[in-house]
Structure 1
Amino acid sequence: MDGMPMSMPTGTVPSSATSTRQSTPSLMEPTSGAGMEGMSSMGSTAETNNDCKVSMLWNWETIDACFLSKSWQIKTRGAFAGLCIGIAFLVILLELLRRASKVYDRYLIRQHLKKTSALAATVVNGSSETAHGALIAKENAMTLASTIPFRPNIFQQAIRALLHTLHFALAYWIMLLAMYYNGYVIISIIIGAFVGFFTLQWESISPLGGIEGGNGIGRDGTGCHG
């Protein structure tokens, strides 16, 4: 009995081999988990680097700076330079709209004076007996015509309202860009204001005060309606 070998049942695996097989997957699981965590951390880092840089304090951000929406994100220095140039032109356009409103108001006033003066001259020529009396009466009629108040018709007022609305909307848009407190944007706005006023508001100034020929309709010095 002692010399006979012990037989083992067919298909039985030693316990040591079973424990080895069970321990092998457990050693691999932490490695795969660490790899996934590393990939996720790299992905989150990449997303963080592409986030918009928005500050409500004074800043000099250029790359990845966003304005008004996430889709308006600056990716290159060339794009940021184009943004600054575009903002300067927006401010110049604002001065152009302001000048257009003043020019249109003067045009309406000239048309009004022309009509009233012609009507007054017709009345004077038919009622005056002498040339001297007609001349005096004509001058009085022109003075009277200049004092007659003028009210634009509905079509003229619609054009004035359109110019005012465009001026207001563009000014509000520029104000929103300035609220990002970006130093380069603020400088661009200042340069645009200087160039716009220098080129578009260069007019003759009357010694009596105000702009010569500037018979604006209810506007103050800033071009706003009173």
Structure 2
Amino acid sequence: MDHGGHGGHEMPSTPAPRCSMNMLWNTQIENTCIVFRSWHIHTKSAFIFSCLIILLLGVLYEWLREAQKNMDRRIAARLSAQGKGKTRAVEESTGTPLPFSDRSIRALLYGSSVFLSFFLMLVFMTYNAYLIVAVVAGAAIGHYIFNPDMDIESVLAGGVASKSMACH
């Protein structure tokens, strides 16, 4: 009887490591999967590397938020210099229409920040204490780097210093 070239002898198979899904706070390192089944952690060094990647993604999220603000400032300054904006917007009680290229860049930055914020939320939802710390530390480091100034007058007038990290 032919057994497909195995000579009739079956080798015992060791079950492959599986992604562990915890719905409770945990500190598991090995067999943790981060968002994708393919991002499967097998070693402590891979876990540390993954934590660094998550931390950098948190920093990137803060950079994207600041890039959006800077882009809006540049567009506003350019439109103001061209005499577009304030007078017409006040008269019509609407915003100033933007050129296609400006709208596209703003949409790309916004979409990227929304994607990244939801991705970091999914990382947070692993309930892994180390990954949660990496997300929060990345946001804090990014905020420190990219938000060195505060609009004191706005805050004293009841405004908010800056928007907190949120999914959307």
Cα deviation for residue 204 of structure 1 reads: 4.1
| 1:46-195 aligned within 5 A | 46-47=14-15, 50-116=17-83, 146-149=86-89, 150-195=96-141
SS in 2 for 1:72: coil
C-alpha displacement at 1:83, in angstroms? 0.4
Q: String of CA shifts for 1:44-72, please: whole Å, max 9, x gaps.
A: xx316x22222111111101212223322
SS at match of 2:39: strand
Q: TM-score, normalised by structure 1?
A: 0.58
- Tell me, in whole angstroms, the C-alpha distance in 1 between the residues paired with 2:37 and 2:152: 50
1:205–1:160: structure 2 CA closer, same or farther, 3 Å change rule?
Answer: same
Q: Letter of the aligned partner of 2:81 in structure 1?
A: K
Deviations 1:139-186 (A, max 9, x none): xxxxxx744422211221111111100001111111111111000000
Q: Give 5+ residue unaligned stretches, structure 2.
A: 1-9, 90-95, 156-160
> What residue in structure 2 maps to residue 11 of structure 1?
none
Q: Cα distance, 1:88 vs. partner?
A: 0.6
Hey, what's the Cα distance between the residues in 2 that align with 1:113 and 1:89? Answer: 36
The higher radius of gyration belongs to 1
How far apart are the structure 2 equivalents of 1:169 and 1:186?
A: 18
1:202 pairs with 2:148? yes
Residues in 2 aligned to 1:146 and 1:204: alpha-carbon distance in whole angstroms: 24
TM-score (norm. length: structure 2): 0.77
Question: How far apart are residue 222 of structure 1 and its match?
Answer: 2.6
User: Matched residues in 2 for 1:54 and 1:71: separation?
Assistant: 14
Residue deviations 1:113-143, cap 9 Å, x none? 21219xxxxxxxxxxxxxxxxxxxxxxxxxx
Amino acid in the other structure paired with 1:84? C
CA distances 1:8-44 after superposition (whole Å, capped 9, x unpaired)? xxxxxxxxxxxxxxxxxxxxxxxxxxxx8xx74xx3x
